[in-house]
Structure 1
Amino acid sequence: MMNPPIVHQISECFVKPVYASEGSKQPYYLTPWDLAMLSVHYIQKGLLFAKPPEAKDNEAFIPDLLERLNHSLSLALLHFYPLSGRLATVKTDSSYWVYVDCNNSPGAKLIHSALDLTVSDILSPVDVPSVVQSFFDHHKAVNHDGHTTSLLSIQVTELLDGVFIGCSMNHALGDGTSFWNFFNMFSEIFQSNGSGASISCPPVLERWFPHGQGPIFNLPFTHHDEFISRFESPQLRERFFHFSSESIAKLKAKANAQSSTNKISSFQSLSALVWRSITRVRSLPPNQTTSCRLATNCRPRLNPPVSQHYFGNSIGLARGVATAGELLEQDLGWAAWQLYEAVVGFTDEGERERLDAWLKSPSIYQLHKTFDPLSVMMGSSPKFNKYGNEFGMGKALALRSGYAHKFDGKVTSYPGREGGGSIDLEVCLPPQTMCALESDTEFMEATSSTSQFY
């Protein structure tokens, strides 16, 4: 039996902003949305590139790449300075609060690793190889670990004919919108070869608190063991499915026609297909309640709206609910309409009520408590600019993620590499369920044949 491939770490260093801004000298406060994330995993997303022709027989290619990444990261951290800090907790007889301290930190981490595999070894297998999890720092870490480890790590893994750039960001500092805004600006600085003093989408670092409330100093804890747990994923297969823009358009047209409307979005239609298909292959009893949860950006839904460049967490869950019988007896349009109504029902008033309830009784998300093996969770968004991040190697071949937040029924959405409204879905299911999904006619007929680069 062959030994599994191993990623070898070659070096690591810490990177600080080019200089300490005035804002970085003050405590950076966490909001209710942020604090609720202390016990979940880091965000782990990355891009796989082919080595350009000029890298062949050029021993300086990787050292030069690392040097430029180091410099670009130091410039990006000037704008996103909280990512260079560490978490800190202050406890007194009457208070318990967590914040970001940028004064007592070595900075963000930059790692150089290597793996004796090819791009094809990563992308050709039907399932995502487990070695991909080693392309990311903070494996299995929870956000509270940011007290003693970096809040941001960039890992550069050199393959025989490619390079993977993996980014791990503490989820207590930001959501997917924040993550990709940072990644986009990091790439923009790298590509510009400029000073980094000006970027196209500077983050809004001013903290947002409900009803004008300020920092939270009274968390109801005396020790972090009271709210930290470590979720271990069950045995899963992780596979990408590609949906062309034509396929997505057909699903949207079908869902709207069946519901006699034109309001259902492309993503709601696709999510409805996934919800119905996974529910069907799970063979749930007809009276079993199931749900499809959609990660929802609160920024535009608040009144007044919060800037899309707001750096932090500002997400909630829109949830469509049905019994397995209802879901499968009705058509795609019916399922999509449940999701449309869930999204429309996600309002400023409802989110403020949830935040008010949290402030009265603060709680920290626990994956083992919120994980529902009978439902589907649609995470991330195909609207994020993910393939626009280039680091001197052209357009990435593929996107991949780490160990974080993987459970039965977790589906992560990405834009398709060819653009145009195409979507890739990263689906996580137990082996038996995945085999059944691969034989599900409705689902597989909607997917598209893909190249080796998916």
Structure 2
Amino acid sequence: MLYNNQISYYNYNKAKNETKRMASSPTVQHISDCFIKPLYNSEESQKPIYLSSWDLAMLSVQYIQKGILFTKPSSFQLDSFLQKLKDSLSITLVHFYPLAGRFKTLKQENPPLYSVYIDCVNSPGARFIHANLDLTVSDILSPKDVPLIVQSFFDHDRAINHDGHELSLLTIQVTELIDGVFVGCSINHVLADGTSYWHFFNSFSEVFKANNGQKQLIPISKTPNFNHWFPEGHGPIINIPYTHHDQFISRHESPKMRERFFHFSSKSLKKLKAKANQECNTTKISSLQALSAHMWRCITRVRKFPSDHMTSCRMACNNRGRLDPPLPENYFGNCIQTVRGIASAGELLENNLGWAAWKLHEAVVNHNNKEIREWVEKLECGMIYQLGFFDPSSIMMGSSPRFNMYGNEFGLRKGMALRSGYAHKFDGKVSLYEGIEGDGGMDLEVCLLPDFMASLETDKEFLDSFSS
């Protein structure tokens, strides 16, 4: 039995040891590393895969890095778990064979030609990493800010998509914690947008669940469509107007920022939506438009811009259903664009939430087939996105709470949290995630410069709008 003074001494030592362990700055240790090929090669995988202008525009930005943190079950057996993941990945890659390839550049002087395509034949496959970290689930989730160590849960740190000539286009990294497991996935953004990314991740989980140990193809509920879309008269080989990759790639190093998660319950979102619609005397504003307008106003307020300073809020839009004729839902590739609302800081803050939300609503409604095709014409001229060009007066609402994220369990039951890597982090980036409750709530991953984040944490309108 421990008496009071003994308990105090015990707690003191426990806290001291915990502080000492955290202060030692544990690092992620790579235990093993291998490449996984498809279980077998299909006839389609033996042909070059030519990319659309939407895909090629992503060559200078970074990989998509998302993953799920699980608690470790009492019956967890690491070796069998890793082997089943590898076998399931090999089976899944039969369906998603481009992810096992590498980029190749097709060059020609007369007539001039420069194009990037996917070669699935001369490739070692997708990468699989087993790593270890001497921290707990609580060490990851308890701090107010997302710990920097989370960035080490992913491959392709600071890589840009053009690096896929030498690096894997897909990596699965399993990081074992003291009492948890993190399954991280990074996919080259030239191959996939968010819709396609989660299509793969959901299928990987589906195959894992159905895998009974036999090395045979397992059907999936939604087969990917790799018929890349090109406007009439264009493709399949897109000639971009460059002679060397140094002419269009750049490396973006993010400034020191704070990264926090904020939870908006279903009830909080309904209140925001009702308020925005009431202020505009309409019923057309969606929850996402109201939330985006709210974040636009709150972040602009803490940035303290002069009243005539122009600001904007960008929202990622899926173009599949907006084209005429529409693309299939299972179209695998990039089919996204951003729309934006624009306003001076003064008019944004002097007007109400509904005013800002209506600006975003109009931007979404006006984003149609004609607008999309006009944008593709610009991309056909060789436009390559550059992360370093992002307007520091803007905010960017990325990802989507509509993606099935927590449905990926890998035999570990429902995950504890979603986290992302280093990629695409800049001041004003807000990523939307499915709420863990599954009732329509959302988790927001917010990246801001330290002073702006400190101000947001004390902003009354912001604090009153969400639940912790």
Q: What's the TM-score, normalizing by structure 2?
A: 0.93
Q: How far apart are 1:65 and its partner, in Å?
A: 0.8
Structure 2 match to 1:262: 283
Structure 2 match to 1:58: none
SS for the counterpart of 1:113 is: strand
Give the Cα separation in 2 of the matches to 1:4 and 1:288.
42
- Which residue identity does 2:28 align to in structure 1? V
Structure 1 unaligned blocks of 5 or more:
56-60, 450-454
- 1:300-328 deviation line (CA, Å, top 9, x unaligned): 11111111110000000010110101100
Give the Cα separation in 1 of the matches to 2:373 and 2:218.
36
Give the Cα separation in 1 of the matches to 2:424 and 2:238.
28
Q: How far apart are 1:207 and its partner, in Å?
A: 1.2
Give the Cα separation in 2 of the matches to 1:54 and 1:317.
45
Of 126, 138, 148, which residue of structure 2 is paired with 1:108?
126
Matches within 5 A, 1:399-418: 399-418=418-437
Q: How far apart are 1:329 and its partner, in Å?
A: 0.4
Q: Report which stretch shifted further, 270-279 or 211-220.
A: 211-220
Give the Cα separation in 1 of the matches to 2:437 and 2:232.
43
**2:353 paired with 1:332:** yes
SS for the counterpart of 2:174 is: strand
Q: How far apart are 1:358 and its partner, in Å?
A: 2.3
Runs ≥4 residues deviating over 4 A: none
Of 40, 43, 48, which residue of structure 2 is paired with 1:27?
48
Matches within 5 A, 1:187-202: 187-193=205-211, 195-202=216-223
Q: How far apart are 1:211 and its partner, in Å?
A: 2.3
**2:91 paired with 1:75:** yes
SS for the counterpart of 1:89 is: strand
Q: How far apart are 1:92 and its partner, in Å?
A: 1.2
Structure 2 match to 1:293: 314
- 1:161-207 deviation line (CA, Å, top 9, x unaligned): 00000000000001000000000000000011254431101101111
- Which residue identity does 2:104 align to in structure 1? A
Give the Cα separation in 2 of the matches to 1:372 and 1:437.
20
Asked if structure 2 preserves the Cα contact closer than 8 Å seen for 1:189 and 1:196, the reply is no
Give the Cα separation in 1 of the matches to 2:121 and 2:210.
29
Matches within 5 A, 1:18-417: 18-55=39-76, 61-93=77-109, 94-193=112-211, 195-211=216-232, 213-359=234-380, 361-369=381-389, 371-417=390-436
- Which residue identity does 2:122 align to in structure 1? N
Q: How far apart are 1:227 and its partner, in Å?
A: 0.5
Structure 1 match to 2:442: 423
Give the Cα separation in 2 of the matches to 1:9 and 1:46.
17
Give the Cα separation in 2 of the matches to 1:415 and 1:446.
18
- 1:79-114 deviation line (CA, Å, top 9, x unaligned): 000000000001110211100000000000010000
Structure 2 match to 1:11: 32
Structure with greater Cα Rg: 2
Give the Cα separation in 1 of the matches to 2:369 and 2:205.
33
- Which residue identity does 1:67 align to in structure 2? Q
Q: How far apart are 1:212 and its partner, in Å?
A: 5.1
Structure 2 unaligned blocks of 5 or more:
1-19
Give the Cα separation in 1 of the matches to 2:270 and 2:440.
9
Asked if structure 1 preserves the Cα contact closer than 8 Å seen for 2:99 and 2:169, the reply is yes
SS for the counterpart of 1:82 is: helix
SS for the counterpart of 1:319 is: strand
Asked if structure 2 preserves the Cα contact closer than 8 Å seen for 1:319 and 1:339, the reply is yes
Structure 2 match to 1:452: none
Give the Cα separation in 2 of the matches to 1:414 and 1:30.
28
SS for the counterpart of 1:210 is: coil
How many pairs were matched up? 442
Change (3 A) 1:308 1:212: farther
Give the Cα separation in 1 of the matches to 2:68 and 2:174.
10
Structure 1 match to 2:457: 438
- 1:216-263 deviation line (CA, Å, top 9, x unaligned): 342111110001100000110000000000000110000000000000
Change (3 A) 1:258 1:196: farther
Asked if structure 2 preserves the Cα contact closer than 8 Å seen for 1:41 and 1:143, the reply is yes
- Which residue identity does 1:65 align to in structure 2? F
- 1:108-127 deviation line (CA, Å, top 9, x unaligned): 00100000000000000000
- Which residue identity does 1:29 align to in structure 2? Y
Give the Cα separation in 2 of the matches to 1:258 and 1:212.
47
Give the Cα separation in 1 of the matches to 2:237 and 2:336.
19
Give the Cα separation in 2 of the matches to 1:275 and 1:308.
30
- Which residue identity does 1:225 align to in structure 2? D
Give the Cα separation in 1 of the matches to 2:95 and 2:443.
31
- Which residue identity does 1:176 align to in structure 2? G
SS for the counterpart of 1:167 is: strand
Q: How far apart are 1:429 and its partner, in Å?
A: 0.2
- 1:391-444 deviation line (CA, Å, top 9, x unaligned): 010000000000000000000000110011100000000110000000111111
Asked if structure 2 preserves the Cα contact closer than 8 Å seen for 1:256 and 1:264, the reply is yes
Give the Cα separation in 2 of the matches to 1:8 and 1:220.
42
SS for the counterpart of 2:30 is: strand
Q: How far apart are 1:5 and its partner, in Å?
A: 1.8
Q: What's the TM-score, normalizing by structure 1?
A: 0.96
Seq. identity, %:
61
